[in-house]
Amino acid sequence: MKNAEELVNMSSSMLSLPDVYLQVKGVIDNPESTMADLSRVISIDPGMTAIVLKLVNSAFYGMPRKVETISRAVGILGMQPLHDLVLAISVTKTFSGLSQQVMNMKTFWANSFFSGLAARELARKCFLMDSERMFVEGLLRDLGHLLLYQHLPEQVQEAMKISATTGKPIHETEQHVIGFNYTHVGKALVDTWQLPKNLGEAIRHQHNPGGTPDYQFEAALLNIAGALTEGFQSPNGQGNWKTLVAQESWTLTGLDEETIKICILEASKQLSSMLDLMEEAHAQVA
């Protein structure tokens, strides 16, 4: 395998997102679309409608009163947040049947959702106006690993072994063993799906936020969320996550260690209920 783009192109047949998401994306991409258009395309799919409403009414959004219709959800949250929610459901559904030879998928998604929740909490602490979008960015932060696990299991396992032995970050050992790493694959996947450029750039440069001139802040948030996720899954509960945070991420976000620890607690509290809801989504979304 020469590069990440080849890996994604080879996998294109199994990476199709559900029709309901493609219709939602079409609405979002059309400047003449209305909230009614978005409500209509989501409502056509009963399974997607049911799980979107459950998520909107969950603690994740903290609505003061129950939201009973998709049109009401769009009116309260807006078109882009609803798009992001449908994207999150669609991506988890698309990848739910992959091989577990290298990584247990329940563990992978637990880590990914923790990363998404942590990224959202970090964005809130930075007073990012549309902090909800960082949930999806955090969720997709590690998506490239799924294709590496599927197609290059032996090389990935070798990189994981070197990382465990030497203490070097996994993206560095993958670069050495494979010639590219999961951030390259994640960006190539986002580009193939024609998702917003900021998402692909933030994923690609999450370990060196300064490498993307226009999206450094988002990349820095993903860098910290990824470091917290590594700590979250370590044997002692939090691990030495600070060593995984790039120095520039502290400067770009202005966050301090105590604030970040609060984000860890908040994300941890929300994780179980979010995983339960998304497991239900797998069952309901065709």
pLDDT at residue 102 in the model: 76
More confident residue, 281 or 278: 278
- How sure is the predictor about 237, in pLDDT bands with cuts at 50, 70 and 90? very low
Instruction: Kindly report the pTM of this predicted structure.
Output: 0.91
The highest-level CATH class for domain 4-284 is mainly alpha
| Of 152, 196, 198, the residue nearest 175 (C-alpha) | 152
Is pLDDT at 200 greater than 80 in this prediction?
A: yes
According to the model, what pLDDT value does residue 231 have? 74
More confident residue, 103 or 54: 54
Q: Where are the domains of the chain?
A: 4-284
Q: What percent of the chain has pLDDT over 70?
A: 92
The conformation of residue 17, written as its DSSP 8-state character, comes to P
> Is residue 171 within 8 Å of 207, Cβ to Cβ?
yes
In angstroms, the Cα distances linking 236 to 97, 119, 185, 240 are: 31, 21, 30, 9
State which amino acid sits at residue 227: A
* Highest-scoring range by mean pLDDT, 19-23, 200-204, 244-248: 200-204
- The mean predicted confidence, pLDDT, of the chain is 89
Q: Which of 8-22, 132-146, 207-221, 241-255 has the lowest mean pLDDT?
A: 8-22
Q: How far is CA 265 from CA 114, 198, 269, in A?
A: 11, 27, 6
Looking at residue 10, its pLDDT comes to 85
- Please report, as a single letter, which amino acid is at residue 168: K
Q: What is the SS3 assignment for 76?
A: helix
Residue 229, pLDDT above cutoff 50: yes
